[in-house]
A and B are shown apart, each in its own frame.
Chain A
């Protein structure tokens, strides 16, 4: 008991705080950044061609600011969806190539923009015959491929927030339009990080 009391009394003599601080007033300081910015994020969208399902993947973009209200750039995104029916398992990869232009407004650490993108979406379709591998005699092709490009575009609301230094988080969402034997409406969202050195 005496030893225990001694340890308790001596403990404050050994205990001490770290001399530095992990977080201080400048940890989340931001920099104004240059005219170029890049971003990378995850994409979720309605498939360009398939009438059902959720197409998911990644997207990236480059943006250049001109003045304080306008920007333009280019984007690329890939997303995939797989759905099945009684006869087919259909996988479609959507490759979106876009030229974009945006008007934006900054407020403190945040910025909000309306971004219009246009360009081709290339859809790669793979159709597998359901259970086709079970038939040992069939000379039926078990898989079909197709590749098609369709003109498409989207109008997105983009929100970005400076986090620290030259890094930002951004999110965008909006309606899409693809022209392929008629107009096909849809939607797309992206969430990720951006870097503006």
Chain B
């Protein structure tokens, strides 16, 4: 009797074995795409070197505010030169994270499947209404690692700070990849961008705004806008509104219905170079350096310097700071700030971490 039972169990197992014959995939197998971007690199292929490893990356944009020094009128000629050398275009697209990459050829349409959704830190807004924008950036993958490596400004390291070599998710100050253009370069130029929207949409949000255009559809979509002028942005900001786009230049379509054009441009253009540069802080805050008299003189070779008052939108400040640009060979522009008295996060802190105002270092060029 017991033997019969065992036989029945074994038979059941054998039967199950016959019907259960799917393949287990574990973590493998193809990942279904949420959407597919259709794109085409256009323009003059002679801009590229003969051995170019051309790729297109979809890069999500970050929320970033330029520091006040870069948008206020320069107070002297040195400052004018420094701002030209050290300030990023306040209307430019600022990359936050590279999503996908695909090999491309000039004039040949290709597709980029989107196999992941943007994470919450890339979406601006709350869980009921948030949105993210991405630019398609065409680049020469000089290090042949299959992805666009972003760089960040090469600021002067302060006491106890690293030399900016980059580690983990913190990009270094150098990258071998060379950017040749993008579908979304700056808000002051016509653009085509990939959008991802969850929930409702706030028309007054100033995150890469498209005032005057229609709302982005839910989920992934392609948006286009003609761009606005810098003066229009200034006027709108003073009026407490957003600069208007020309409605005739606007488009909001499904990704499957459009081929996004990615035009090649001169890689030496500052606006194009900046497409490969990310920023460490996004709130226009400044980190100050201590001009320590006990330390060796900082190396300002190939950097532009200027002495300026602390930037202020109200009454002028009495505090003078030394501002230093990056080097001409740096991938990304940036400004370093020295104050004789202050803290790392603020020059006006109540209890300064350092005060060399009575005995500045010998190399200090800005007076007491």
Contacts and interface: CB of A to CB of B under 8 A. Distances in A.
Interface of A: 49-51, 64, 72-74, 83, 85-88, 90, 92, 97, 99, 119-120, 122-123, 125, 127, 129-132, 134-138, 140-141, 144-151, 180
A73 B24 CA distance: 30
B238 interface: no
Chain A CB within 10 A, most for which of B16, B27, B33, B115:
B27
A149 B23 contact: no
6 contacts: A125-B25, A136-B198, A137-B220, A147-B21, A148-B23, A148-B24
A119 B32 contact: no
Interface string B79-106: 0000000000000000000000000000
A131 B287 CA distance: 37
Contact of A149 (B21, B31, B217): B21
B161 interface: no
Nearest to B217: A137
Interface string B1-34: 0100110011011101111111111110001111
A87 B10 contact: no
B116 A74 contact: no
A72 B9 CA distance: 13
Contact of B32 (A97, A140, A145, A150): A140
B26 A136 contact: no
B10 A119 contact: yes
Contact of A147 (B9, B22, B31): B22
A85 B14 contact: no
B20 A147 contact: yes
Contacts of B47: none
B12 A97 contact: yes
A132 B217 CA distance: 18
B17 A120 contact: yes
A153 to B, nearest CB: 12
Contacts of B9: 74, 97, 99, 119
Given A129-B32, A135-B34, 17 more contacts: A51-B26, A72-B6, A87-B27, A87-B31, A87-B115, A88-B31, A90-B27, A97-B9, A97-B16, A99-B9, A122-B17, A132-B34, A134-B117, A136-B198, A140-B32, A140-B34, A146-B23
